Amino acid sequence: MNTSNKQILLVGNPNVGKSTVFNFLCGKKQKTGNYAGVTVASHSGGYEYKGERVEVIDLPGSYSIYPSSEDEAIFSKYLIDEQNNYSGVVYILEALSIKRGLLLFQQIQDLGIPIILVVNQIDQAQRRGITIDIAQLSKELNVTVLQANAKLNQGIEELRDEIHKQSFTKSETVSFDIPTEHRGLVFKILQETKEENQYKVWTLLSSDTYLGKLETVSEQMNNYEVKCLVPKRLQTQETIRRYQEIDKIIGKVISKKPQFKELLTEKLDKVLVHQFWGYVIFGFVLLFIFQSVFFLAEYPMNWISDFFLWLSGFVNAQLPAGPVNSLLANGIIPGVGGIVVFAPQIGILLYFLYLLEDSGYMSRVIFLMDRFLRPFGLNGKSIVPLVSGTACAIPAIMSTRNIENVKERLITILVTPFMTCSARLPVYSIIIGLIIPNKFFIGISYKALALMAMYFLGFFTSLMASLILKKIIKSKGTSFLVMDLPSYKMPLFGYDFKIVLGKVWEFITGAGKIIFLFSIVIWFFSYIGPKQNPKDFVATDVKLENSYLAKMGKSIEPAIAPLGYDWKMGVGILTSFVAREVFVGTMSTLYSLDEEAPEGTIIDKMRSDVKPNGEKVFSFATGISILFFYAFAMQCVSTLAVVYRETKSWKWTMAQLFGMSGLAYVASLFVYQILK
Amino acid sequence: MKRDISDKLCCFPRNKFGKILGYENNDLVMPNKIIEMGLLPQTVFKVLYQAPFSGPLYIEFGDEKSRIALREEEARFIIVESLT
């Protein structure tokens, strides 16, 4: 079969159902955004139709071609820069807010980009008694218009067909009427450059920031007296003029029955954004999520941990005693198992966060929280990174891109890693299990309370850090909040589940790979030690205490002993510099290797371990010290990489690394010395 | 003409219909996003809710009943009149 390739872009305002269209269009063949590698698109995927391979890129939503946030800047840049590399744009319009959607549509059309228009969520409009004359709309805009109800997979097949038939239309004329007073300048530039599109010249005059590659024009720019132009004023002029034209089109294509039915959204918002109940509900939503993370996850966690215990025993019994047996049964299996066991908790947390985002509830949370976050130098929009930081700081930091103000965005990026991410959970769970008694306070376990306290500690620290950063960082631009409150939608349960599975798998393979490697290295250095026989190069199969690993751990003891740690924890802290959860894998490996320790689970071994002076290794004081250390220390190379990519500043990346690590050391030292 | 403070969107009473007349944007500090989102002159609106401690306003506007959140500071740029 003759297969050709085509690339299309999915574009539209935020919350118009782009993800749903994307999901149905690409079916199972999509790959979800790999946060580490994605620079422009949030998602890209593909499908095959009639022997043609189509690649779909889902761009971040935007209201206009003129960016007011990093997200929108990425959008505009991609749209204009890559114009020669894609076949066309599929523009998604929400039937209920056609007017707003047409603004960006016409801007893209005027740039001479081939486009197809899809009117989505027709059903919602019908419920409100609104009828859209699709044929008329198509005639007015001179574009192919399709109707869709993406949620029910309606209109998707037609869309595939139109994409296949190459029904994208490229507008030859510019619908925007350039104001008379600037026409002279625009035409003068046009004449002297190779550029043919007058709207492109206009966008260059009316944007403060460079919109993609318009080199043919920009080189000529300095020759003209453009300094007296105020880009912002031109933008305002354009927007108002365009809306006047759009109003005329709307008048011709939309008819409305007089009765107006109150939608679910209006009823829900009476409670969900209520001055009092809104916060109570948000509190309960968070509580419910965190409860689920611990109680729902308990069963799968037990299964996984039992499985690895069985596997380790099985391997130990089946293989002849020797290095391979030891490496597998005591090194790799417990190490990897120690991490996989946390996959259910991470999955559940992420799943709930995706559902909240999809349903439209998150923007209500922004509305509720804005006033409370502002004194800390943050924005209402910072609540999204902060809450999703409880799952993982990496996507959380990426989600700061919709914060318009540079300073607020930078502060949010810098403080988000303080939030208790899922990688800290393994560490917290083990330490809390070791040091907090199994008692209950009015039906709530001490352990759950301790864990909750750790979450509060993270949140409190990020607020305090914001307060300090607010004083340090110089302000750029004004802070503002203008945000759409979309109607509530039924979340895409299946789609989100798929994404979560992907993310959990990424976590397992990502962290798993590192832990696999470290398990081998740790096992190796615990298996060999300084020679005891002059003929040998090294001694093998030594006692853990005599191994090279113990030597290494002991060499950093002077630095960590004041915090209450022994050499094993020292090794754990060193290895977990890459990622916090590696600490648990390292501990599992180390304690499995220690044949001196009594038989039992790793937790039991850790609990009964004593220092040479007879003190318990994991006493209350040491435990709290470790908890504080992991609450503050940066210890995540991937996050550092993302912070650098988003801030493009070594200064801030390093400040964050050393600031957090320094705080971790001082805080641990302080609590240990007080509690011991 | 000197305008009264109550003629600004920030101080408009809740659940009453009003109409946008224009913007007080002489120093060009008002975010363009306000206009892009559709808060245009002649648009009819209603302030539905406000977050506590002078938090953002929840505004419904236009024929499409679009809903947006806007801080008081931004709402101060918008000149309105009462329709009742």
Q: What is the 3-state secondary structure (H, E, C) of A67-123?
A: CCCHHHHHHHHHHHHCCCCCCEEEEEEEHHHHHHHHHHHHHHHHCCCCEEEEEECHH
User: In this structure, is the dihedral angle defined by the CA atoms of residues A292, A296, A297 and A302, taken in order, positive or negative?
Assistant: positive
B71 contacts A370 by C-beta, under 8 angstroms:
yes
Pairing of strands A130-132, A88-94: unpaired
Residues pairing with A89 in the sheet = A9, A115
Amino acid letter for position B24: E
Residues pairing with A415 in the sheet = none
CB contacts of B46 in chain A (<8 Å) are none
Q: Does A281 touch chain B (CB under 8 A)?
A: no
Helix (H, G, I), strand (E, B) or coil at A145: strand
Cβ atoms within 10 Å of A64's Cβ, excluding its own: 23
Residue (of A372, A399, A396) closest to A467 by Cα position? A372
Contact between A485 and B51 using a beta-carbon 8 Å cutoff = no
Distances (CA, A) of A309 to A334, A499, A581, A604, B74: 7, 29, 19, 14, 60
pLDDT value at residue A35: 33
Q: What is the CA radius of gyration of chain B?
A: 12
Residue pointed to by tokens 């927007």: A239
A414 contacts A656 by C-beta, under 8 angstroms:
yes
More confident residue, A655 or B3: A655
Produce one character per residue of A29-48: b if its CB has 16 or more CB atoms within 10 Å, e if not.
ebebbebeeeeebbbbbbbe
Distances (CA, A) of A281 to A382, A491, A522: 19, 18, 47
Cα separation, A571 vs A589, in Å, equals 11
Contacts with A196 (C-beta within 8 Å, 6 or more apart), sequence order: A190
Amino acid letter for position A154: Q
Q: How far is A199 from chain B (nearest CA, A)?
A: 18
pLDDT value at residue A78: 86
Cα separation, A560 vs A557, in Å, equals 5
Cα separation, B18 vs A547, in Å, equals 79
Q: Which residue of B has its CA nearest to A98?
A: B64
Q: How far is A246 from chain B (nearest CA, A)?
A: 11
Q: Which residue of A has its CA nearest to B59?
A: A485
Question: Across the interface, which of A236, A256, A478 has its CB nearest the CB of B35?
Answer: A236
Q: At what angle do helices A650-675 and A406-415 cross, to 10 degrees?
A: 40
The ipTM (two decimal places) reads 0.93
Contacts with A454 (C-beta within 8 Å, 6 or more apart), sequence order: A420, A424, A428, A432, A627, A631
Contacts with A69 (C-beta within 8 Å, 6 or more apart), sequence order: A401, A402, A403, A404
Question: Across the interface, which of B35, B52, B55 has its CB nearest the CB of A240?
Answer: B35
Residue A605 Cα to chain centre, angstroms:
37
User: In this structure, is the dihedral angle defined by the CA atoms of residues A657, A662, A663 and A667, taken in order, positive or negative?
Assistant: positive
Cβ atoms within 10 Å of A665's Cβ, excluding its own: 18
**What count of Cα atoms within 13 Å lies in the side-chain half-sphere of residue A597?**
23
Contact between B52 and A483 using a beta-carbon 8 Å cutoff = no
pLDDT value at residue A454: 94
pLDDT value at residue A204: 81
Please give the DSSP secondary-structure letter assigned to residue A49: E
Residues pairing with A657 in the sheet = none
A512 contacts A339 by C-beta, under 8 angstroms:
yes
pLDDT value at residue A383: 92
Residues B53-81 have pLDDT tens digits of 999 999 999 888 889 999 999 999 999 99
Residue B67 Cα to chain centre, angstroms:
12
Q: Which residue of B has its CA nearest to A72?
A: B33
pLDDT value at residue B74: 92
Residue pointed to by tokens 């802070």: A479
A95 contacts A121 by C-beta, under 8 angstroms:
yes
Q: What are phi and psi of A46, to 5 degrees?
A: -160, 170
User: Which pair of tokens denotes residue A308?
Assistant: 């690895």
Residue (of A669, A676, A670, A667) closest to A457 by Cα position? A667
Distances (CA, A) of B13 to A214, A553, A579, A614: 47, 67, 52, 71
Residues pairing with A47 in the sheet = A54
Residue pointed to by tokens 């990502």: A510
Which residues of B have a CB under 8 Å from any CB of A?
25, 28-29, 31-38, 40-41, 48-56, 58, 62-71, 73-74
CB contacts of B63 in chain A (<8 Å) are 99, 250, 256
Residue (of A554, A668, A565) closest to A615 by Cα position? A565
Q: What is the 3-state secondary structure (H, E, C) of A292-320?
A: HHHHHHHHHHHHHHHHHHHHHHHHHHHCC
pTM, to two decimals: 0.85
User: Which pair of tokens denotes residue B32?
Assistant: 């363009």
Q: How far is B34 from chain A (nearest CA, A)?
A: 6
Residues pairing with A58 in the sheet = A10, A43
| Angle at A8 (CA atoms; ends A7, A12), nearest 5 degrees | 160
pLDDT value at residue A111: 92
Cβ atoms within 10 Å of A5's Cβ, excluding its own: 10
Q: How far is B35 from chain A (nearest CA, A)?
A: 7
Contact between A404 and B49 using a beta-carbon 8 Å cutoff = no
Cα separation, A163 vs A151, in Å, equals 20
A115 contacts A88 by C-beta, under 8 angstroms:
yes
Question: Which residues in chain A land under pLDDT 50?
Answer: 1-2, 31-41
Residues A296-339 have pLDDT tens digits of 888 898 899 889 889 988 998 998 888 888 888 878 888 788 77
Contact between B51 and A269 using a beta-carbon 8 Å cutoff = no
Contact between B70 and A380 using a beta-carbon 8 Å cutoff = no
Q: How far is B18 from chain A (nearest CA, A)?
A: 19
CB contacts of A100 in chain B (<8 Å) are 37-38, 64, 66
Pairing of strands A440-441, A145-147: unpaired
Question: Across the interface, which of A66, A100, A367 has its CB nearest the CB of B56?
Answer: A367
Contacts with A30 (C-beta within 8 Å, 6 or more apart), sequence order: A22, A23, A43, A44, A45, A46
Cα separation, A487 vs A275, in Å, equals 19
Contact between A480 and B53 using a beta-carbon 8 Å cutoff = no
Cβ atoms within 10 Å of A449's Cβ, excluding its own: 14
Distances (CA, A) of A602 to A299, A545, A589, A598, B28: 19, 17, 9, 10, 64
Question: Across the interface, which of B33, B48, B51 has its CB nearest the CB of A368?
Answer: B51
CB contacts of A275 in chain B (<8 Å) are 49-52
